Amino acid sequence: MFKFLKRNERKANFDRKILRKNDISLLTLDERWNSLFANTEKTPEIVASENKIMELLKEQSRFIEESKENSALKKDLMGKIITLTTEVFDKNNEAAKKEMQECEKEIKRINERAGVLQEGLDNIPDLIKEANLELLEHTVNQVYFKIRANQKRVAELEHLIEETRTKLKEYIDEKESLSEDYTEIYSWFHDLLGGEELEKLDKEFFGGQP
């Protein structure tokens, strides 16, 4: 898609505060962003940022799935505690007490884990946004600046092509003019001196070439 003349060392310098306010789509899921690299190799920096986003999305999905599973498990444990209440408090059933304690212990673990998961889910969107902005910067450095450099070169080539076209026309006009003069003059000398004499002159001065 883009064949670059040389590596552009210029780097994008974005104001992250302003970009954070903009609604920038997740580049890895953007078809237009992906199309940029149909025939353009991704730099290691782009690949690293892309992988970082993918890992954050996977982690987000894992946290969400684990939160759902823990919520369902906690609901089951709470239901089990309710069913054990009579055995524990009315009948003083030791086995039921032990089972209730295990349920309470597991609920405590789930609650602690829920805090960790929620903290992760709260932080991941910002981490994804930062990684996305990082990917945007690398994309600009790899693609945008080089496109602009190519556009400058295209303008230069257009100028050279126009110059060449003008020169070519001049050469063609000169060739046609010289050919016309040559034909008319040679014909006159042929009529004046005769073909045999002209042939002798050609051989003497031009090696036989008219």
d(CA 78, CA 27): 43
In this predicted structure, what is the pLDDT of residue 18?
59
d(CA 15, CA 22): 11
In this predicted structure, what is the pLDDT of residue 13?
65
Residue 34 tokens read as 């992906």
In this predicted structure, what is the pLDDT of residue 186?
77
In this predicted structure, what is the pLDDT of residue 187?
83
In this predicted structure, what is the pLDDT of residue 71?
95
CA separation (Å) from 55 to 16, 25, 59, 60, 132? 22, 17, 6, 9, 12
Residue 177 tokens read as 């003019």
Residue 93 tokens read as 């059933």
Burial 98-108 (b: 16+ CB within 10 A, else e): ebbeebeebbe
In this predicted structure, what is the pLDDT of residue 21?
64
Handedness of CA 120, 125, 131, 134 (dihedral sign): negative
Is residue 49 within 8 Å of residue 138, measured between CB atoms?
Answer: yes
Is residue 202 within 8 Å of residue 210, measured between CB atoms?
Answer: yes
The string of pLDDT tens digits covering residues 71-106 is: 999 999 999 999 999 988 888 899 999 999 999 999
Closest by Cα among 28, 34, 24, 22 to 58: 28
Domain ranges of the chain: 16-158
Q: Number of helices (H) and strands (E), helices first, in the chain? A: 6, 0
User: What is the C-alpha radius of gyration for the chain, rounded to an integer number of angstroms?
Assistant: 41
- Residues of the chain with pLDDT below 50 are 1-8, 210
> Which helix (H) or strand (E) covers residue 123, if one does?
helix 94-139
